[in-house]
Structure 1
Amino acid sequence: MDFEDFNNPQVAALPNHLRQYIVGQHYEHYTPIDQAVWRYIMRQKFSYLTDVAFYPYIPGLVKAGLTIDHIPRLQEMNHALAKIGWGAVTVDGFIPPAAFMEYQAYKVLVIAADIRQLKHIEYTPAPDIIHESAGHAPIIADPDYHQYLSYFGSIGAKAMFSAQDYELYEAIRALSILKEMPDADPIGLKNAEEQVAYWQQNMGEPSEMALLSRLHWWTVEYGLIGTLEKPKIYGAGLLSSIGESATCMQPHVKKLWYTPEAVNYAYDITQPQQQLFVTPTFQNLIAVLEQFADKMSFRIGGSYGLQKAVESGNTCTVVYSSGLQVSGTLTNFMKDANGQPAFIKLTGPAALAYADKQLNGHGKDYHKDGFSSPVGRLKGYDTPFEDFNRDELLSVGVSVGEQAQLSFESGINLKGIVKTLLVKNGKTLLITFEDCTVKSADGQILFDPAWGVYDMAVGESIISVYSGAADKNTFEEIGYSPKTSTYHPTYSEQKLNLHRLYQRVRNCREQKSGYDRLPYIWDQLQQDFPQDWLCALEVLEILDHKNDEQELALIITQFLKDKAAALPELKKLIEDGLYLIKHPVEQ
């Protein structure tokens, strides 16, 4: 698919490894029923959420390029969002958490292209265009909130994740897809639910990404703001659920202050929440995030960060105190007597970078068999090795063409002929040796001259370890690809006939003509689609506002009331729809 940036600077800046998740919106795939679902939900939002949503939400809908009457086109949203420094792209359902976070860091909303079915109009566990656009986008207009959102993304993009994280992600994605299928196999659905439950119970120690996902859930998705007694909604999961946005305010849903302790509360994406967290301000969200980030590998570095990288088993970046960045899969590291890193070993393709740009000649092709290097100070020197001046370098033989002998405080020893030095901003980053031998304190061979040229990283310590490559574009990092695809139905002729009835009602409302066809449409609904309620509601809305066909209006009203009484799951939906006919909303 050709990349479309919608003339939006934020979208245009997306790197290749994120562009792979983008899919076309295919606006023509939205059915007249889809448009009616959007309109119903948006009318409910303008009615109910005016009182319970955080103030910027309602004006934010307009600022995000959203209208009551039609599903937004991506170009419309990007035109509006560009004015507040954001952009939007459409994706295929749930994307991996790490990619989702990085999109936020680039100030781009990822919007699931699909829309929920009518039977899931109150809530869907699957991401859809209602949740993403009408949930997330409007609050972004608040400057403190969009600062939090993008900052969260930049931190989340560095979070370590585990193999179990991806298993749970796949299980949740598969379940959400099945739940949105009109005729999902009950056995398959049960198995998918069991898979989610299994991985939720067998995650082991939560990874940084898993813990961050909790903070994201309790703020961005299900957050409340204000006071415990009278909070307002800002979380997109609540704003996009016309069911839970009401029930969440009831006393049985506990309201707790949002503090760093929220990270200890797991969540279930398929169930209503048992408790919610209230923040007094959006600045408090940033304060809590800062406290959590201080405990992450990218800020702690050292042996702690290296161990997290080994456990991850994925591409990570190790940052030396000199500024040198080493990207690849860390498989082992050695500690000195004080527990500090003494030696790192990456297996498989690796790359070296500085300031997030790959160093010339040090890409994955050159370091295709991995990379290893000592860490630490040289024995007998108080000055960090990377800060040695010319005389100090000469004192240990580090001069091009000369043989150097380096003894590290950890006991590691190196002997070899200096081929090149790489210096940036006054710090030595890398020394390349020929005929080089590296041994550990106990005499173990860490590098043998027969293995070729040896590139040694220079740095007193490891100051940061984070997920992903330093220079993702040159590392040619191919992001994780989901195993499942979202469901796209093929409609029967009968279903297409229902679509046509919905479209005729829509045409009548928008064109303000063809009212004489409404009795016929009602007859067709009664004859062929007696289970439908939303199209009947739309017919009644037009009749009521025109004050026409009053007898027919009474018949449809009684039909809807009878249906609400017979089917408890439709009671609130129909009653809310009838209320809006008498109390219309305007944008």
Structure 2
Amino acid sequence: MAYKQGGILGLEKALKAQTVNTIELNSGLQISGVLDTYLSKEVACLHEPTFVRLRGPAQLCIKGSQIQGHGTHYHFQGFSSPLGLLRNEAKCLSIMDSQDLLRLGLVIGYRAHLEFASGIELIGTVTKITRGKGKIILISFESCTVRQNENILFQPDWGIFDLAVGHTITSIFGGPADRVHYNHLDDFVAKRVRPRKIPSQKLKEFELYQFIRQFRSRADSTSDPHTQLEKLIDSYFTNFSSNWLAGVELLELSVALNSKKNCQHLEEKLMESKNQKPEVQQCITEGIRLAHQVPCLLGKNGS
């Protein structure tokens, strides 16, 4: 099969083909196998895939290289995972830093409860967080249950659950990602198609998160961190003040730099943002509390 296309259109082609294909996520994670089924839902006005299940043998890769311990012998029965953003989170789990993981309870040895924007819930004990090319690509859980309402997608007695981290499918192409290790040496040709266009405002939000991440990792070696932080906060108030998560991250940095004026302004804005759904109010309250109680380690990028 010769195509390279993402999203639901790519999934439909793979489902009809019933051959080995590779699903590539925005995190860079590649999942190879025969697509068995998928779920989708309208999230944030976009119809997006929310869950995929592949029949075995399956393989997980990054940049065409099989991830150690995630070959066809381990995933001989197949692979499945929810996809998409977490509820009330504006950025992908793949680019979250150590502060984000702590806030979400994603700490090795601890019980975590994740709810996706699609409504899928995951409850399990974190056993491993796998990174690739600077991003989080897999989170492994034991004693794990994944469900959507009454529909059980994974249950504890099935073993370790590996969560594929990524909120969009960037491409699907014929054949396994690492053909040598998959033992599948047929010649596959992928025809590239234009990727889905991301709204400009969303791209600007991604840029803001990237600037915040860079500042967090370099603030201790910057000559004037206070001025740089002021610029980030000005950009936030001008263009992104409705994004409470970015506000919480900037509050963390302001607390770390002991910038009381910025702390006051950001907290006032965040308190205004609490006039939303109860779950959003709870997240903002917890974010403000953690910003003051959990030290923000400048110079650490969390990856």
TM-score (norm 1): 0.31
| Deviant stretches of 4+, over 3 Å | none
2:153 — aligned with what?
446
| CA drift at 1:460 | 1.1
2:87 — aligned with what?
379
> Is 1:464 aligned to residue 157 of structure 2?
no
2:107 — aligned with what?
399
| CA drift at 1:473 | 0.3
> Is 1:455 aligned to residue 162 of structure 2?
yes
User: Which of 50, 54, 60 is the matching residue for 1:346?
Assistant: 54
SS in structure 1 at match of 2:90: coil
User: Which of 181, 191, 196 is the matching residue for 1:474?
Assistant: 181
Q: Given residue 19 of structure 2, which amino acid in structure 1 is its aligned partner? A: N
| CA drift at 1:443 | 2.1
> Is 1:319 aligned to residue 27 of structure 2?
no
Structure 1 gap segments, 5+ residues each: 1-160, 162-208, 210-295, 481-587
| CA drift at 1:404 | 0.8
Q: Given residue 111 of structure 2, which amino acid in structure 1 is its aligned partner? A: Q
2:276 — aligned with what?
none
1:238 — aligned with what?
none
Q: Given residue 437 of structure 1, which amino acid in structure 2 is its aligned partner? A: T
- What percent of counterpart residues are identical? 39
Q: Given residue 428 of structure 1, which amino acid in structure 2 is its aligned partner? A: I
2:34 — aligned with what?
329
SS in structure 2 at match of 1:303: helix
Structure 2 gap segments, 5+ residues each: 188-303
Alignment of structure 1 residues 406-425 onto 2, 5 Å: 406-425=114-133
Q: Given residue 83 of structure 2, which amino acid in structure 1 is its aligned partner? A: V
| CA drift at 1:478 | 4.9
| CA drift at 1:352 | 0.3
SS in structure 1 at match of 2:181: helix
2:64 — aligned with what?
356
Larger Rg: 1
> Is 1:435 aligned to residue 143 of structure 2?
yes
| CA drift at 1:310 | 0.7
Alignment partners' CA distance in 1, 2:186 and 2:170 = 25
| CA drift at 1:396 | 1.3
Alignment of structure 1 residues 148-547 onto 2, 5 Å: 161=1, 209=2, 296=3, 298=4, 300-337=5-42, 338-440=46-148, 442-479=149-186
Alignment partners' CA distance in 2, 1:412 and 1:443 = 10
Alignment partners' CA distance in 2, 1:392 and 1:384 = 11
Kindly provide the CA deviation profile for residues 421-473 of structure 1, in whole angstroms up to 9, marking residues without a partner as x: 00123210000000000001x32000000101111100011101000000000
SS in structure 1 at match of 2:35: strand
SS in structure 2 at match of 1:336: strand
Q: Given residue 360 of structure 1, which amino acid in structure 2 is its aligned partner? A: Q
Alignment partners' CA distance in 1, 2:101 and 2:168 = 18
Alignment partners' CA distance in 1, 2:185 and 2:95 = 36
Kindly provide the CA deviation profile for residues 176-208 of structure 1, in whole angstroms up to 9, marking residues without a partner as x: xxxxxxxxxxxxxxxxxxxxxxxxxxxxxxxxx
Alignment partners' CA distance in 2, 1:443 and 1:391 = 32
Cα RMSD for the two superposed structures:
1.2
Higher strand share: 2
| CA drift at 1:324 | 0.4
Q: Given residue 172 of structure 2, which amino acid in structure 1 is its aligned partner? A: V
| CA drift at 1:395 | 1.2
Alignment partners' CA distance in 2, 1:445 and 1:457 = 17
SS in structure 1 at match of 2:144: strand
Alignment partners' CA distance in 2, 1:340 and 1:451 = 27
Q: Given residue 471 of structure 1, which amino acid in structure 2 is its aligned partner? A: D
Q: Given residue 447 of structure 1, which amino acid in structure 2 is its aligned partner? A: F
Q: Given residue 371 of structure 1, which amino acid in structure 2 is its aligned partner? A: F
| CA drift at 1:394 | 1.2
Alignment partners' CA distance in 1, 2:80 and 2:138 = 12
SS in structure 1 at match of 2:47: coil
Kindly provide the CA deviation profile for residues 462-499 of structure 1, in whole angstroms up to 9, marking residues without a partner as x: 1010000000000001539xxxxxxxxxxxxxxxxxxx
Give aligned pairs, total: 184
Kindly provide the CA deviation profile for residues 366-388 of structure 1, in whole angstroms up to 9, marking residues without a partner as x: 00000000110000011111111
Alignment partners' CA distance in 1, 2:48 and 2:164 = 16
Kindly provide the CA deviation profile for residues 214-268 of structure 1, in whole angstroms up to 9, marking residues without a partner as x: xxxxxxxxxxxxxxxxxxxxxxxxxxxxxxxxxxxxxxxxxxxxxxxxxxxxxxx
1:164 — aligned with what?
none
Alignment partners' CA distance in 2, 1:347 and 1:425 = 27
